[in-house]
């Protein structure tokens, strides 16, 4: 074991006939201009020495950079330290891509600094840093990710769900629910303190070097890790550790660093579900949970990470208290939106239903519906009692607004329920969480 990180056996990939297109069919998400059929075959079968060489020429392919720009444009985002927006970059796209190709090919490309802004943490008065690279740097980072992601994705553990192709929050939540129902009720609810900001650069780069031997690509990754940051106070600060949240390449790098932990837990027979730096360990007994937590503590210490002392604990999910994971609260065989998720939802609806809102009721309901429908799409698997009370709360907000327009004061109440009954809002097209939940349940039964 080196630096607390252990080598892992590659994930076994089934091999069949090598007909044209069959290998690519197992990798539908890779960038086709980068990953040819021949390269994908080598990826599955393994390359000599386990390391990949000569990757930079794939990074600066014009077709790769163009596809990377499309990804950056789809993700939107603000301008970086150079004040160049996505629209400005696109206006001279061919010239900008040609410049990036030339500078990458000749080795003169240097990433600019990162503009850092502080954004609110949902349900908290605290703020977290968000790093915004320039548009050009985001394009190159996406191009690098297109090249190296399959190399690491091949060996990522199945219990990792965050920022991976074809996986997402709902897959992780389904796995947690399945394990709880199977009796894995003793849960280690873990939290890594400031994970993205504390990843040691030297250890991360050594992990990457186990699979990539192209010095130019490694140099690019190191340059991104050590970019200076321009804070809102106009002070430039060097980056000595961590990978900025907001950078295109950061999620992949964070998964690379935690992948050995995934495999360590799997080899120990411990059920783990991880989404980026948020993970839970599910065990059948309290003793097993304590053993799992001890293993995680030992591993994190060995790789210079810290478990948050106040946010890491063991719970019996069959009892009152439960635990939160990916926006949901799990307790006694049920799950519903955690308090922070409800608070965020209500804050959004409050902003749309202010009593001073001068829009028509139809326009306000249209705006409300967009938010409610999106929220329901994620939380529709909550316990049924969740929805009726929220429907009533949304209608109360609308009644209060209408009451104000009639010259009244305070919240909608009393006679307002007769003046504007539930049917009134239904006739005006207000989305009903309860009705949608009932329909979803009926669809499942069928």
Answer for the pair 236, 116: CB distance below 8 angstroms, yes or no: no
Spatial distance between the Cα atoms of 5 and 383, rounded to a whole number of angstroms:
40
Structural contact between residues 226 and 131, judged by C-beta atoms closer than 8 angstroms: no
Query: How far does the chain reach from its first CA to its final CA, in angstroms?
Result: 52
Residue 150 main-chain phi, psi, to 5 deg: -60, -30
> Looking at the predicted structure, is the pLDDT value of residue 373 above 50?
yes
Kindly tell me if the per-residue pLDDT of 184 is higher than 60: yes
Average pLDDT over residues 9-21: 48
Answer for the pair 155, 163: CB distance below 8 angstroms, yes or no. no
Band (14; pLDDT cuts 50, 70, 90): very low
| H helix runs in 380-421, sequence order | 385-405, 416-419
Give the predicted TM-score (pTM) of the model.
Answer: 0.89
pLDDT band of 5, cuts 50, 70, 90 = very low
Q: How confident is the model at residue 234 (pLDDT cuts 50, 70, 90)?
A: low
Q: pLDDT of 317-370, one tens digit each?
A: 999 999 999 999 999 999 999 999 999 999 999 999 999 999 999 999 999 999
- Integer CA distances (angstroms), 253 to 197, 249, 291, in order: 12, 6, 28
Separation CA 90–CA 85 (nearest Å): 9
What is the number of alpha carbons within 13 Å of residue 106 lying toward its C-beta?
9
* Per-residue model confidence (pLDDT) at position 281: 98
pLDDT beyond 60 at 16: no
Q: 61-65, 75-79, 322-326: which range is least confident on average?
A: 75-79
Query: Residues near 433 by Cβ (< 8 Å), separated by ≥ 6?
Result: 372, 376, 386, 387, 388, 390, 391
DSSP category for residue 159: T
Which tens digit of pLDDT belongs to each residue from 112-134?
Answer: 989 988 777 665 667 777 889 99
For residue 365, the surrounding DSSP H or E stretch is helix 361-379
202 pLDDT above the threshold of 50: yes
């Amino acid at each position: 074991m080196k630096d607390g990180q252990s080598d892992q056996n590659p994930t076994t990939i089934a091999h069949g006939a090598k007909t044209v297109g069959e290998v690519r069919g197992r990798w539908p998400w890779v960038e086709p201009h980068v990953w040819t059929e021949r390269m994908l075959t080598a990826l599955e079968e393994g390359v000599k020495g386990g390391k990949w060489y000569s990757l930079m020429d794939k990074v600066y392919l014009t077709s790769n950079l163009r596809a990377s720009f499309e990804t950056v444009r789809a993700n939107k985002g603000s301008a970086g330290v150079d004040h160049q927006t996505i629209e400005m970059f696109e206006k001279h796209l061919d010239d900008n891509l040609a410049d990036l190709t030339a500078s990458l090919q000749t080795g003169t490309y240097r990433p600019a600094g990162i503009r850092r802004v502080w954004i609110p943490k949902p349900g908290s008065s605290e703020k977290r840093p968000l790093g915004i690279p320039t548009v050009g740097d985001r394009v190159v980072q996406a191009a690098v990710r297109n090249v190296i992601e399959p190399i690491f994705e091949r060996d990522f553990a199945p219990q990792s769900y965050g920022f991976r192709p074809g996986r997402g929050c709902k897959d992780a939540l389904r796995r947690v629910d399945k394990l709880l129902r199977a009796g894995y009720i003793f849960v280690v609810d873990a939290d890594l303190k400031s994970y993205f900001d504390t990843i040691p650069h030297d250890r991360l780069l050594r992990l990457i070097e186990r699979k990539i031997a192209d010095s130019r690509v490694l140099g690019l990754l190191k340059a991104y890790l050590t970019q200076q940051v321009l804070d809102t106070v106009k002070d430039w600060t060097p980056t000595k550790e961590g990978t900025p949240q907001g950078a295109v390449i950061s999620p992949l790098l964070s998964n690379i660093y935690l992948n050995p932990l995934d495999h360590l837990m799997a080899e120990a027979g411990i059920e783990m579900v991880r989404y980026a730096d948020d993970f839970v360990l599910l065990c059948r007994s309290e003793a097993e949970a304590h053993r799992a937590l001890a293993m995680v503590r030992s591993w994190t210490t060995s790789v210079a990470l810290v478990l948050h002392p106040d946010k890491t604990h063991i719970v019996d999910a069959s009892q009152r208290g439960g635990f939160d994971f990916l926006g949901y609260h799990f307790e006694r065989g049920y799950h519903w939106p955690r308090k922070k998720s409800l608070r965020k939802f209500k804050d959004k609806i409050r902003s749309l239903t202010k009593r001073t809102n001068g829009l028509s009721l139809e326009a306000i309901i249209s705006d409300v519906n967009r938010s409610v429908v999106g929220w329901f799409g994620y939380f529709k698997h909550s316990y049924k009692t969740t929805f009726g009370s929220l429907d009533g709360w949304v209608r109360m907000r609308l009644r209060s607004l209408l009451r104000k327009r009639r010259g009244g004061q305070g919240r909608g109440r009393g006679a307002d329920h007769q003046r504007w009954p539930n049917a009134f809002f239904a006739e005006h097209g207000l989305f009903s969480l309860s009705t949608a939940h009932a329909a979803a349940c009926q669809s499942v039964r069928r």
